[in-house]
Structure 1
């Protein structure tokens, strides 16, 4: 899968002209931009070195792979073995695809009224993910009891 953010070399443009008897020259700064492949635009800002631009891209791509959860919720969900990553290193709920995980988060918002279809969809996703989560917890428990730590 293609990353969302990519480094693009900034196009160097030099404009020259004549004002009165003097020659003028204006050049755009050299460097690198970060391009958002989803929104099809360069992000504001510029990076003088390729390594600075690549580091920022890596950070943005890592953040874009996360589900829209606050830090406290993410910590709790990690503790109860609810979160994992898929083959593209995107955060998902255990047992759900990325698309299902995003939908599950959207349906989990308590401030909006849900239709009967949305309630059924939420319950179906919740059951699917919790069944898989219980299997993960069971497997961890089995490993701990079969191979107890030596003190």
Structure 2
């Protein structure tokens, strides 16, 4: 009975596939390995590639530190050695990030991801003009899937249009 109930869904999917294929305006001549696409329009709407707009590295001069030290491939903080409860990295306090939805990506690693699931780092994004926190997240030790290997953490945020 389940197979019969799925037939209308499969037919609708097939119909949609045929409809979208017909409107895609590509041509696949016989004997040609890849399809041919139509020429692009001479003008396009504004496109902003938010994923590649800006990035800063911990060891660069645009970021500041209150604890830790430069290591071979980043900024290192160690329990019992570096000052606790200080900002490991902060900044760069720029105001040229495009208004609207954006995503900050933090690349970090941890030496031990199994001892407990305590909070180990707070990440946030702030409005460079007002100081308002636009997004924040606390990461725990077990959110790092592999010890001593970099993990990317994302933090979506919205820059108000009037800033």
- Give the structure-2-normalised TM-score: 0.20
Q: Which has the higher contact order (CA 8 A, sep 6+)?
A: 2
Q: Name the one with the larger strand percent.
A: 2
- Give the structure-1-normalised TM-score: 0.21
Q: Name the one with the larger helix percent.
A: 1
